[in-house]
Amino acid sequence: MKIDFFGKFFKLAFLLIFLAEIASFWAHQFVWLNYLLLAGLTVLTIVLACYKLEYSVYLLLAELFIGSKGQLFFIDFGGQKISIRLAIFAAVFLVWLVKMFYGQHREFFRSRFLNYYLALLAFVVLGVVSGILNNDLKSLFFDLNGWLYFFIAPAIFAVVKNRQAISKVISLLFAAAFYLALKTVGLLLVFVHQLPVGIQTIYAWVRNSGLGEITPMGEGFYRIFFQAHLYAAVAFIFALSFLILRKNSAAEKKYLWLTAVLTSLAVLISLSRSFWLGLLAAVLAMLLILLVSKKLTFIKLTKIVLVMAGMALLEMVFVVLITGNLNQSFFTERFSLNVSEPAAASRLELAGPLWRSVKANWLLGSGFGSEVEYTTLDPRILETNPTGRYTTYAFEWGYLDIWLKIGLLGLLAYLLLLVKMMAGSRRLGSLGPLFIAVLSVLAVTSVFSPYLNHPLGIGLIILIGAMINFYERETD
């Protein structure tokens, strides 16, 4: 039976995601509604997990794909937010744990990646111990928080273990990315043209829910950036791979092309150089592997490159036309890698002090909660501190962040897990380049943005690892 990634499940997922965001918008206008919906969704997750773990994992992944910082709904306790991501995570994990003790859902412990996860866990535990002994406990907790998402791996492996589940996850990914792309374009139009639809309320919702950032770039243009655009990039890779390697019906081709265009457009509008570089590296890696393995001829490769280059150019023209801004400096400045721009300049200012801190305990790390002081050009920080001196435990340089916290040995353990996944992908025929490309976009993006220690990146690693694990076992 041929899999339809854009069938009923795709349409249902898209509708539910749309309704969830509408509910989130109104929940952020009324505190009582926010609390009520978070409690209701938590109970729903528990019920679904008890009835069939698969349904609760789909809910967990849907939130991950669109939620950025995971605060679509939240409860505020004394300034600390209990988010919907935390609530869903806890519900799924606890129900899985109970079922595991009764002999169910133990697939993760037979995974080919188990030893690599355990090796990484050992260094994370060492980082926790070091942090307790040497660093502020509050900083340690919030620094470690994202890493705890690795504990959801057994639940995801328990569900993503057959073709039907994988097809539903891909449909869910396409639905989420489709929605993210439409929302990105919609917000760009709203803010560029200052449409009378409650702009300040929408801006407050996007910021307070952690969905992303809406930043004026000058000359009437706005940057619409979501951390969850990572999954738009991943959806683009899936769509491109299926267009190249899969036999599709006319309707499927239409949807795959539409997905590829919309997701790449969203990544373009995000003005994220990290995403641009990561997506470029991932696509080049996939095409090169296909060329070397002779699954792609040089002539076909040339056609694909020309089509993608033309698509990127047309998307830039489209953005210029719909915004009415004929000055393309907001693109050219990002392409030029302008280091005087505040975000880039702040990264460079951080690099030196961060590297010196890394060298102080380079082998085993300084533990979670380790802080570094540097001078930032972030306008939000300069508003309250004109000197720009800033101390933090969270850093944009993803790999240096990990190295500082769990040491070189811990970083190598993490990289070994990724390498093992990529190596396993090589045995999977046409699926191999797809999985390698997805892992590549994450690996390259994480050089400049902290995704490998964030639920967005960790969730992606777990999900792709579960898919690879299933297909590897199937090919044995």
**Distance (Å, rounded) from C-alpha 31 to C-alpha 27?**
6
What phi and psi, each to the nearest 5 degrees, are found at residue 221?
A: -105, 150
Which residues lie closer than 8 Å to 345 by C-beta, 6 or more apart?
339, 377
- Compute the C-alpha angle 17/19/22, nearest 5°: 110
Domain positions in the chain: 105-476
Question: For residue 101, what are the CA distances in angstroms to 91, 92, 133, 148, 353?
Answer: 16, 14, 33, 21, 47
Amino acid in position 187: L
Strand partners, 375: 389
**In which residue are the tokens 């690693």 written?**
461
Give me 442's structure tokens. 């994450």
Rg (CA), the chain: 22
Q: What is the CB neighbour count within 10 angstroms for residue 42?
A: 19
CA angle 78, 84, 86 (to 5 degrees): 80
Pairing relationship of beta strands 74-77 and 213-218 according to DSSP bridges: unpaired
Give the Cα separation of 163 and 148 in Å (integer): 28
Q: What is the pLDDT along the chain (476 residues), one digit of tens a residue?
A: 456 899 999 999 999 999 999 999 999 999 999 999 999 999 999 999 999 999 999 999 999 999 999 999 999 877 788 999 999 999 999 999 999 999 999 999 999 999 999 999 999 999 999 999 999 999 999 999 999 999 999 999 999 999 999 999 999 999 999 999 999 999 999 999 999 888 999 999 999 999 999 998 877 789 999 999 999 999 999 999 999 988 888 899 999 999 999 999 999 999 999 999 999 999 999 999 999 988 889 999 999 999 999 999 999 999 988 888 766 666 766 666 565 566 677 888 899 999 999 999 999 999 999 999 998 877 777 777 788 788 999 999 999 999 999 999 999 999 999 999 999 898 787 789 999 999 999 999 999 999 999 999 999 999 999 999 999 988 76
Cβ–Cβ under 8 Å, residues 414 and 452: yes
Residue 28 CA to residue 34 CA, distance in Å, equals 6
Query: According to the 3-state scheme, what is the secondary structure of the chain?
Result: CCCCCCCHHHHHHHHHHHHHHHHHHHHCCCHHHHHHHHHHHHHHHHHHHHHCHHHHHHHHHHHHHHCCCCCCCEEEECCEEEEHHHHHHHHHHHHHHHHHHCCCCCHHHHCCCHHHHHHHHHHHHHHHHHHHHHCCHHHHHHHHHHHHHHHHHHHHHHHCCCHHHHHHHHHHHHHHHHHHHHHHHHHHHHHHCCCCCCHHHHHHHHHHCCCCEEEEEECCEEEEECCCHHHHHHHHHHHHHHHHHCCCCHHHHHHHHHHHHHHHHHHHHCCCHHHHHHHHHHHHHHHHHHHHCCCCCHHHHHHHHHHHHHHHHHHHHHHHHHHCCCCCHHHHHHHCCCCCCHHHHHHHHHHHHHHHHHHHCCCCCCCCCCCEEEECCCHHHHHHCCCCEEEECCCCCHHHHHHHHHHHHHHHHHHHHHHHHHHHHCCCCCHHHHHHHHHHHHHHHHHHCCCCCCHHHHHHHHHHHHHHHHHHHHHC
The whole-number pLDDT of residue 66 equals 97
Question: Could you tell me if 303 and 293 are in contact, meaning their C-beta atoms sit under 8 angstroms apart?
Answer: no
Instruction: Report the pLDDT value the prediction gives residue 1, as an integer from 0 to 100.
Output: 42
Distance CA 435, CA 67 (A): 23
